[in-house]
Chain A
Amino acid sequence: MSPEQLPARIRRWLYTTNHKEIGILYLITSLFFFVAAGVLALTMRSQLSVPDNHLLSADLFNQFVTVHGLLMVFWVLSPFAFGFANYIIPLQIGARDLAFPRLNAMSYWFYLVSGAAMMMSFFFGGAPDLGWTLYSPQTSFKFTPTIGLNLGAAGLILIVVSITMSSVNFLVTMFKMRAPGMKLKHMPVFPWAILITIFMMLYAFPSFLAALLLLYVDRAFGTFYFSSIQGGALLWDNVFWFFGHPEVYIVLFPAIGVIADAISTFTRRPLYGSKYIIGSMIAAAIISFIVWGHHMFVTGIGLTSTKLYTVTTIAVSLPFDVMVIAMIETLVKARVRLKAAALFTLGAVALFVIGGITGVYLASVALDHALRGTYFVVAHFHYIMVGASIMGLIGGLYYWFPKMTGRMYNEGLAKIHFIFSFIGFNILYFPMFLLLDMPRRIATYAPSTGWAALNLMSTVGGFIFGLAQILLFVNLFASLRRGSISGPNPWEAWTLEWSLPSPPPAHDFDTIPAIAEDGTYHFGNSSGYPNGSGYPNGSKMGNGTVHSHLEGQSPWPVVVAFAAFIFFLGITIGQPSNPSVPVTFQPFWPLVLDGAILGVIALYGYSRERFSVHEETNVESWPFREVPNVKLGIWTFLGAEVIFFGVLIGAYFFVRTNSATWPAVGSLFEVRSGFAMTLVLLTSSLTAIMALVSAKVGSRNGLMASLFATFGLGVAFLYIKATEWISLGANGVFSVANGLPATSYFITTGVHGVHVFAGMLMTLYLLVNALKGRYLKGDYHAIEHFGLYWHFVDIVWVFLFPLFYLI
């Protein structure tokens, strides 16, 4: 796998770790998925244009409706926004790249392969066909015995991994790498929106990951979380929507950031009440975690709780209200330049108002008894997701296109694009509000329902909207070569990215800007800050210049992602497609092994590669001034892990409280062995501390001994665990009576065991290096980082022990 064997252009894109190139990869890939999902949508609209239509079979229609939703939500909206975030945010905060450039590349490649897995599901017995919300128990193997759904779940797991990596990365970057003097409050709204989005991602996606994991294990191993009545529909509803509502804001907020900044630029005025806009976003982000019940108004969760969720949901409309009003007030005494980017962003605000107001309808538990599951809901969330998010992001595309390419797009064509998009959009979606009797996700309907006219109108609008997008692609593509030269700042905007040439050079800033107390910013020595210090990512060359793109390249991110892809294919596609009960685990071993081996090699190569990321010394990093990048990364990662285990434990509580009977203490799991494991793990926490102390004082032997002891205790723990697993398995613990106790025990302790195992691999790695004399004295950080992780894993066990063995 030597880099020299590939043509330079391909190699450049495969191996790049440069945030701008990765940003462009994200943008292009998300637009590709946008077109793919759009084609599915237009096919569905054709099918629905007239009653009793059979253009699409019901089976295909259900697959299309599901994959359309999944693609748009996960593979289009967020990656589109994160394409901009990758490209623009380091420029806006005066950083030369993200904190972990290779991790960033890996996020992208995981995103790409996850999408491939999702698309491939069409060819493995049919794509997922039960709606993007994947309601249980229909996801059970019994009701949906297709590999396609497993593959879809695998795709989702991979994209959650991608999203988690990139949120850790962005968080560290934005907290730790801002230009000197750039306080958080100096950031434009777009980076703020991304920052808030990342926090939501960090706390929402682990819930989804846990849900997917339980689903996957149910389907591949025949466990009972979702196939049982005690878990089943409501367990999924809770864990899915706990993630799902924050998710709808996750796909919206970046667009709000784009809209706000573009409005400020094109009205030539500072944003009105920008701090209230940001404060409102924070408020909405927090409230978004306590409104999920509004998706369960008619599941029978009780009158009182539905009323509470009505209040929280209606309350969440207030911060959005503030945002919209602030944006409109910005227009007062302004000088509005109606460029295409301005039209799209102002148009997005208008559509968002309609989407938001109709959201309040759905927040009413009383109205939801009629509106739930109808086209009214479809209209509502498309006004938000397409009207606000997609239109806003397209505005962003026009806004930043000159920055990214150095060329202007064709303004006239872009305006025509806006007019057709806006009119087409409303013809497409407004009729759906009037279709408030029509069930969503039905493949066809009878003429007697009287829904035909509105459906036809909607389809016509759909084609206007869809075809209008061709203008976008034609315009951008043609302007790449033929557009007039834009210069660094065609919009006369104030944010930092416009101070650079268009497109910016590989290393972005020749000198990192510095913001003075009075809010002016300077480049170069005049500010008294050091000039030209800092390296572009991965480059061994100083002076802030990269001479060729070869520097800062790494082959490993793409290889790791590819290995993960084959691994998941392997464990997925071996399963036979018939609902044989009980389900047995049947992976396709050659692929599994290939993936695993390749993965290990790639991770090893990744860790051994001499890829230095220079940490600027002069940076603004409130509130985490003292914490170095990696440590902050680990802390945020552990925050996500807390939610992940929290959901697993919550699921256990859920099925346990719903079960009439549960085996008595000590009857299934032996208290003694649980106790032994607890002792072993707690001791290993001590040895991990000893390792750190030895490293700090420089005792190589002490370090080796403590690491070795930690490793040994890990082995002991897993040994006891394995004996317990084997004896439980041999006793046929998965009987119907013990199905749920066994399911929750095996999954929860299994996931924990995997964490222990991962920790042991880390100790091995550390041991090898310690043998070579590393980590002593000032070099102790890796030991400290490992310790954080290891203590966390131990703490989780301290919770699991009483939950499974003592109560």
Chain B
Amino acid sequence: MGTRKKQETQKMAFSNTEVVFNNLFSLFTYLAVLVGVIVFALMAFLIIKYRERKNSQDPEDTPRLGRIPIVRGHGRNVLITVSLSTIILLALIIGSFAAVDTLLTPPNGTWCYGLYPGYGAQSPLNQDCPRIDVTGHQFYWEFSYPHALPHAPLYTEKYVFRVPKDATVVIDVTSADVFHDFGIIPFKIKTDAIPGRVNTIWFQPYQNGTYLIQCFELCGSGHYYMNATLIVMQVPQFQAWYNST
């Protein structure tokens, strides 16, 4: 799996989806840490400063038995809190929208350079670029590749999913039995595999290597081993493999 590889090429991402995730996750985390630190510092400071001491006395407005306590608190402070938070949250919403647009819409005229013979670099960008069908079964994944020849049967393989480096890979995910979820772990992308429905996601792998695919929805006794291997290969090797199928 990709752990050792990760160390070698720290800065290089595995896929476009990972880049999208990392950027957005960092944005969230910067803001989360900022807010968290402020809140915790404030809490700790107040608790220490105002803790009960030997000679300290109850504040004037201490609630006492026999009387409903006074109502206090400024609407203004609430407004400030809400406005500040709204600014932060708006940034997060905008960032999320941009990211999800990328995640869910394959680039215009799906560019499947190198994916299949006949769809070369020079060929026009083609909407009908063939997709790969991914089907979840209890408890394995099955990958069906369209054949270069029209109307030829799909080529189907279990457990192993091969794609060429840098290609735009569009996959249609579904299930043959129960609710599964198809996730390529290092690529930070997943979608549900639901019987009777097809969910489409896409990614562009940046590096050769093997990556762990797992099911992310409890689907029965074999759920924990319901995994597969994604192999990203150089284009010529992929074409050689593909032609051999």
Task: List residues of A whose CB falls within 8 A of some B CB.
Answer: 58-59, 61-62, 65, 129-131, 135-138, 143, 186, 229-230, 232-234, 264-265, 267-276, 298-300, 303, 306-307, 310-311, 314-315, 317-318, 321-322, 324-326, 328-329, 331-338, 346, 349-350, 353-354, 357-358, 360-361, 364-367, 369-370, 372-374, 437, 439-445, 448-450, 489, 492-494, 498-499, 515, 519-522
A441 touches B191 (CB 8 A): no
CB-based nearest A residue for B21 = A370
Interface hits, B74-109 → A, CB 8 Å: 74-75, 77-78, 81-82, 85-86, 89, 92-93, 95-97, 99-101, 103-105
A306 to B196 CA separation, bound complex (whole angstroms): 20
Say yes or no: A131-B36 contact (C-beta < 8 A), given A273-B77, A333-B59. Answer: no
A366 and B96 contact, CB distance less than 8 A = yes
The verdict on B124 contacting chain A, using a C-beta distance below 8 Å, is no
Instruction: Name the residue on A nearest B223 (C-beta).
Output: A442
CB-based contact B189/A369 at 8 Å: yes
B24 x A317 contact (CB < 8 A): no
Instruction: Determine the distance from Cα of A349 to Cα of B39 in the docked complex, in whole angstroms.
Output: 10
Choose from B57, B69, B85, B220 the contact partner of A317 (Cβ within 8 Å).
B85
- Confirm or deny: B47 has a beta carbon within 8 angstroms of a beta carbon on chain A: yes
How far is A311 from B72 in the complex, measured between Cα atoms in Å?
Answer: 31
Kindly report which residue of chain B lies nearest to residue A442, judged by CB atoms: B224
Q: Is the CB of A137 within 8 A of B73?
A: no
From the candidates A276, A303, A336, name the one contacting B73 in the complex (CB within 8 A). A276
State whether A310 touches B93 (Cβ < 8 A): yes
With a cutoff of 8 Å between Cβ atoms, the chain A residues found around residue B189 in the complex are 369-370
Instruction: Decide: A334 and B50 in contact? CB cutoff 8 A.
Output: yes
- Given the known interface contacts A369-B103, A493-B65, the answer about A450 and B190 at a Cβ–Cβ threshold of 8 Å is no
| CB-CB nearest in chain B for A65 | B218
8 closest A-B pairs (Cβ-Cβ)?
A: A273-B73, A229-B196, A373-B216, A366-B99, A370-B188, A494-B63, A331-B46, A270-B69
Interchain nearest-CB distance for A49 vs B (Å) = 15
Contacts of A520 in B (CB 8 A): 66-68
Residues of A within 8 A of B21 (CB): 366-367, 369-370
Q: Which of B69, B105, B192, B196 contacts A298 (CB 8 A)?
A: B192
Which residues from chain B contact A521 at a C-beta distance below 8 Å?
66-68
Interchain CA distance A176-B224 in the complex, whole Å: 53
Q: Determine the chain B residues whose CB is within 8 A of the CB of A267 once the complex forms.
A: 50
25 contacts between A and B (CB under 8 A): A62-B220, A186-B68, A230-B196, A233-B179, A234-B194, A264-B63, A270-B61, A270-B70, A303-B105, A315-B89, A324-B39, A325-B81, A326-B78, A331-B47, A332-B46, A353-B39, A361-B25, A364-B28, A366-B96, A367-B99, A374-B216, A439-B215, A520-B66, A521-B67, A521-B68
Report chain B residues within 8 Å CB of A358: 32
Closest to B78 in A: A276
Contact, CB under 8 Å: A233 / B195:
yes
In the assembly, what is the distance between CA of A702 and CA of B96, in Å? 68
A515 touching B68, Cβ below 8 Å: yes
Q: Is the CB of A270 within 8 A of B183?
A: no
Q: Bound state CA distance, A582 and B61, in angstroms? A: 70
Residues of chain B within 8 A (CB-CB) of A136 are 179
Contact B220 A137 (CB under 8 A): no
Chain A residue, CB-CB nearest to B44 = A350
| Total cross-chain contacts (CB, 8 A) | 284
Q: Once the chains are docked, how many angstroms separate the CA of A314 from the CA of B62?
A: 36
Closest B residue by C-beta to A319: B82
Nearest A residue (CB) for B90: A314
**Distance from B198 Cβ to chain A, minimum over Cβ atoms (Å):** 8
Residues of B within 8 Å of A336, CB to CB, are 46-47, 50-52
CB <8 Å contact, B43 and A300: no
Instruction: Assign chain B's interface to a size class.
Output: 35 or more
Cβ of B149 under 8 Å from chain A: no
For B138, the chain A residues whose CB sits under 8 A away are 143
> Closest Cβ of chain A: how far from B192's Cβ, in Å?
5
Decide if A310 touches B50 in the complex (CB within 8 Å). Answer: no
For the complex, give the distance between the alpha carbons of A203 and B1 in Å: 48
Residue from the list A273, A299, A326 in contact with B192, Cβ < 8 A: A299
A488 nearest in chain B by CB position = B65
A306–B28 CA distance with the chains assembled, in angstroms: 19
The residues of A that contact B198 with a CB separation of less than 8 Å are 300
Give the distance in Å from the alpha carbon of A444 to the alpha carbon of B28 in the complex: 30
A318 touching B43, Cβ below 8 Å:
no
- Assess the B62–A268 pair: CB atoms within 8 A: yes
Instruction: With CB as the reference atom, state the residue of chain B lying closest to A314.
Output: B89
B195 touching A364, Cβ below 8 Å: no
Known: A300-B197, A361-B25. 11 other contacts (CB 8 A): A58-B224, A138-B220, A229-B195, A233-B179, A273-B72, A321-B81, A322-B81, A331-B50, A338-B47, A442-B214, A494-B69
Find chain A residues with CB under 8 A from B192 CB. Answer: 233, 298-300
Question: Are the C-beta atoms of B93 and A314 separated by less than 8 Å?
Answer: yes
Q: Given A324-B39, A354-B36, is A303 in contact with B197 using a C-beta cutoff of 8 Å?
A: no
Decide if A366 touches B100 in the complex (CB within 8 Å): yes
CB-CB under 8 A from A365, the residues of chain B are 96, 100
Q: Is residue B20 within 8 Å, beta carbon to beta carbon, of the partner chain?
A: yes
Query: CA A326 – CA B75 in complex, angstroms?
Result: 11
Report how far A318 CA is from B3 CA in the complex, Å.
Answer: 39
Bits for B31-53, please: 1 = Cβ < 8 Å to A, else 0.
01001100110110011001110
User: What's the Cα separation between A297 and B58 when bound, in Å?
Assistant: 51
Which residues of A lie under 8 Å from residue B183 when comparing CB positions? 373, 439
> Is B77 touching A329 in the complex (CB atoms < 8 A)?
yes
Write the nearest CB–CB distance from A515 to chain B, whole angstroms.
Answer: 7
C-alpha spacing A333/B59, complex, angstroms = 7
Query: B177 at the A/B interface (Cβ < 8 Å)?
Result: yes
Q: Chain A CB within 10 Å — which of B197, B216, B219 has the most? A: B216
Residue from the list A130, A373, A450 in contact with B181, Cβ < 8 A: A373
With a CB–CB cut-off of 8 A, which chain A residues contact B133? Answer: none
Determine whether B212 belongs to the interface, using a CB cutoff of 8 Å to chain A: yes
B78→A322 contact, CB < 8 A:
yes
Select one of B58, B100, B195, B223 contacting A369, CB under 8 A: B100
Q: Is the CB of A307 within 8 A of B72?
A: no
Cα–Cα, bound, A298→B68 (Å): 49
Q: Which residue of A lies closest to B48 (CB)?
A: A336
State the Cβ distance, A395 to closest chain B Cβ, in Å.
15
- Given A62-B223, A373-B216, is A335 in contact with B50 using a C-beta cutoff of 8 Å? yes
CB atoms of B178 and A143 under 8 A apart: yes
Q: Hey, which chain A residues are within 8 Å of B97, CB to CB?
A: 307, 310, 366
| List of B residues within 8 angstroms of A310 by Cβ | 93, 96-97, 100
Nearest chain A CB to B175 CB, angstrom units: 9
Min distance, Cβ B105 to any Cβ of chain A, angstroms: 8
Q: Tell me if B10 is interfacial: C-beta within 8 Å of chain A.
A: no
Residue of B nearest to A338 (CB): B51
Which of A321, A349, A366 interacts with B82 by CB under 8 Å? A321
Whether A519 contacts B43 in the complex (CB less than 8 A), given A58-B221, A332-B50, A364-B28, comes out as no
A536 to chain B, nearest CB (A): 23
Q: Which residues of A contact B194 (CB under 8 A)?
A: 232-234, 299-300
Q: Are A303 and B82 in contact, with the CB atoms below 8 A?
A: no
Q: How many Å lie between the Cα of A499 and that of B67 in the bound state? A: 11
Contacts of B186 in A (CB 8 A): 437
> A520 vs B199: C-alpha distance in the bound complex, in angstroms?
63
- Is A335 touching B224 in the complex (CB atoms < 8 A)? no
With A318-B82, A370-B21 as contacts: A298 and B215 at CB distance below 8 Å: no
Asked if A298 and B191 make an inter-chain contact with CB atoms under 8 angstroms apart, the answer reads: yes
Is B217 a contact partner of A369 (Cβ separation < 8 A)? no
Q: Are A137 and B195 in contact (CB under 8 A)?
A: yes
User: In the complex the two chains form, is B78's CB within 8 Å of A273's CB?
Assistant: yes
Whole-angstrom distance between the Cβ of B176 and the nearest chain A Cβ = 11
Known A-B contacts A267-B50, A346-B47, A370-B189; the reply to A361 vs B100 at CB < 8 A is no
Q: Which chain A residues lie closer than 8 Å to B178 at the CB level?
A: 135, 137-138, 143
**Using Cβ atoms and an 8 Å threshold, which residues of chain B touch A269?**
59, 61-63
Given contact pairs A318-B82, A366-B20, A369-B103, A333 touches B50 in the complex (Cβ within 8 A): yes
Whether B101 contacts A303 by the Cβ 8 Å rule is yes
Partner of A318, one of B40, B86, B201: B86
